[in-house]
Structures are given as structure tokens and as C-alpha cells.
Amino acid sequence: MCLLGAVALAAAGCTDDGGEGGVDEVGEADGTTEDSDSDSSSSTDAEAGSESMDTTGETETETETETETETETETESESESETDTETGTETDTETGTETESESESETDTESETDTGGMGDAIEVVITSDNAYGFGYGTELGLANYFGGIENTTAGQIFNCNGGPELYDIPAEAADNATYLYIITWADSSVTQGVIARFRKVGGLMGFGEDVLTGDEGWEVCATGMNYSPGSGGPEQAVIDDRIQACNLGNLDPNTTSGGWVDEVGTALGAVAVGEDNTTPYNGGPQAGNEFPLVCPNVMPEEARWMWFNWDPQNVVWPQTSPFLWPGGGSNPDHQFLIFRLAADLIPPPQ
């Protein structure tokens, strides 16, 4: 609306200048006509007077007639010259005014077009089986925290109507950030995982233009603090405390990942990267095909499901699956989980 309004105002400005130019042009044209008529009248009076006085000299009459004819011709030439000059001046001035106004209008339009508010947003689409939050921060913790969404039905996870959430996060949220974090927890049933895309057109510092779950470089820390959907999940202060504990790398090896682990992992666990958002659901969850498609209208095909593999030596996807609830024990996959991606691990957009 602002852009259209600016163009309309600029167009109105051109019309007003043209209107004034039209009035000036008509006025100057009238003045030229009056000057020409006055000169012609003077010549006629002079001619009549000469004829009445010089009735006896035929030679003198011819001479005067020739002189008057030359005078009239010169007068008409001067009038035409003045008219041409004035008309040319008015036309040039009027054309110049319109061109200048159009140029200003184009400049204003380009200036407004360059100011795209949505271009400053980080576009996020994310869902989890079952719960998640996310934010940007540093090695010491979160600078901001979004989400705390807890899904309790399949429709809330996968469907286009009520399924994955969409966020427009101000780009300033990632100012001075060195890590992108995803926090997630699940129920003790069937499947668990998280899938997302974070997008900033033109790139966002070291994070690149598109950041997908399943990209190289993700790390995870399994904290061993169990939250069930409906509990509200961990508060930001708890998350920050666990981030710093994960940094130390000396968490309980029986109930946690010990610290941060990547896709290669350690004996205590690894990042699990599963199927992308293209594999059709084969009637029910099974190893290698655990999830239905997440609303393809918003979730890109390239995004992949992630979770924590608590036993990478024996649980090898897709033959076996860390995305399927293993059963046994109160928290066998050591939730809640904190995923992080360092900004400098993502190549800048080419």
C-alpha cells in the first residue's frame, strides 16, 4: 500500500506541473498574438497616411509601398520568430519538468522497493514428535527462546491444518550468535524426532541461507532430565544451566551423553539423522520409515528428522532405529535433548 501510494502521489505531482505549464503556455501565446496585431495595425496606419499625403508622386508612392511591404514582412518574421522562440521555450520547460518529476517518482519507487521488511526476518518451519523450543545464543546459553510447543496428537505434528508451526523471527535475534539451539523432549511411546528449516534470504552471518535439521555439523547433548509433553518443558534458566554442564563434558555416563556428541558420536551416544520429507508412509512406523510426510506445503523435502542415538554400536539406522521408542526403563534415550549448530560450520551463501 505504501509503494502504491508513493507512486500515485508522484504521478499527481507530474499532473500538477503539467497543468501549470499549460496555463503559462496559453498566456504567453495570447501575448504573442496581441503584439503581432499591434504591429500590423501600425503598419496599416502608416501606409494609409503615406498614400493620402503623396497623391502626386507616383515614384514616391511606389517607393513607399515597397518600403512598407518590406516593413510588414520584417514585422511578420519577427512575430513568427518570437512565437517560435516562446513556444520552444515553453515546450522545453514543460518537457523538462515532466521528465524531472518522472525521475523523482522512479527514484522514490526504487527507494521504497528496496526497503523490504520481510527480507529482514528469519523464516522458521518446525515440528517435533512431541515437543520443542529453539533459540540463538552463544556457547554459554540462549540469548532468546521461542517455542515451548508440546504436541499430543499426530495431526499437531504432521498435518497442514494445525501441524508444523511457522515463525518470522527478527534477524536481530541472531545478532552476535555463535550457535543455533533446538531443545526437544517426547513422550514414552511409538516415535520421537524433530524436523525443521531456518531460512534467511541472502544468508545470516555464518548460518547461510537455509539451515536444515540433518545438515552436517549438528551436535546433541542428552541431559538426562526427563520432561513429558504437557509439563511445559524446561525453563530457559534450566536450559542454560544444562548447556554449560554439557560444555564441561562430565555428565553422568549412565543417564546422559556425557557432553556434546556429533553424528560420528562416542560410546555414550551420537546425533541420529533419519529420513527426509519425501519418503511415503508405509502403513505404520518401522525402521527407516518412521514418520508420515510433514505438510509438504511448508516443510522442504531436504529437511531430515533428527534425534539422539543412545547406543550407536547396536542401533544402526535404517536397519534399526533410534526414532522408535525402545521401551524399558524410565528414560532410555536420556531426554531432554539440546541440539546445537555452530555458525562457523555452515558455509556462507555463494
pLDDT one-digit tens code per residue, 160-215: 999 999 999 998 999 899 999 999 999 999 999 999 999 987 765 556 689 999 99
Q: What is the pLDDT of residue 312?
A: 97
pLDDT given at position 38: 34
Instruction: Please determine, for residue 93, whether its predicted confidence score (pLDDT) is greater than 50.
Output: no
Query: What is the chain's mean pLDDT, rounded?
Result: 74
pLDDT beyond 80 at 227: yes
Residue 205's pLDDT is 56
pLDDT greater at residue 292 or residue 65: 292
Please report, as a single letter, which amino acid is at residue 75.
Answer: T
Reply yes or no on whether the pLDDT at 106 is more than 70: no
296 pLDDT band (50/70/90 cuts)? very high
Residue whose C-alpha cell reads 533446538 in the numeric block? 182
Distance from first CA to last CA of the chain, Å, rounded? 33
Q: What's the rounded Cα separation, in Å, for the pair 310 and 323?
A: 11
| Cα–Cα distances in angstroms (integers) from residue 216 to residues 93, 138, 212, 272, 273, in the given order | 64, 19, 9, 11, 10
- Nearest-5° Cα angle at 169, 163 to 173: 140
Strand partners, 286: 289
CB contact set of 322 (below 8 Å; sequence gap of 6+) = 272, 307, 308, 309, 310, 315, 333
Q: By mean pLDDT, which of 109-113, 121-125, 328-332 is the weakest?
A: 109-113
pLDDT, tens only, 57-69: 333 434 343 334 3
pLDDT number for residue 308: 99
Q: What is the pLDDT of residues 116-172, one digit of tens each?
A: 334 478 999 999 999 999 999 999 999 999 989 999 999 999 999 999 999 999 989
* SS3 (DSSP) at 322: coil
Please, which pLDDT band fits residue 54 given cuts at 50, 70 and 90? Answer: very low
Confidence of residue 345 (pLDDT cuts 50, 70, 90): low
Question: Dihedral of CA 256/260/266/272: which sign?
Answer: positive
The pLDDT value recorded for residue 330 is: 83
Q: What percent of the chain has pLDDT over 90?
A: 56
Q: What is the mean pLDDT of residues 260-272?
A: 98
Provide the residue type at 205 as one letter: M
77 has a pLDDT exceeding 50: no
Q: What is the pLDDT of residue 208?
A: 66
Average pLDDT over every residue of 242-253: 98
Among 9-18, 241-250, 329-338, the range scoring the smallest mean pLDDT is: 9-18
With a cut of 70, say whether residue 83 has pLDDT above it.
Answer: no
Is the pLDDT score of 328 beyond 60?
yes
What's residue 74's pLDDT? 41
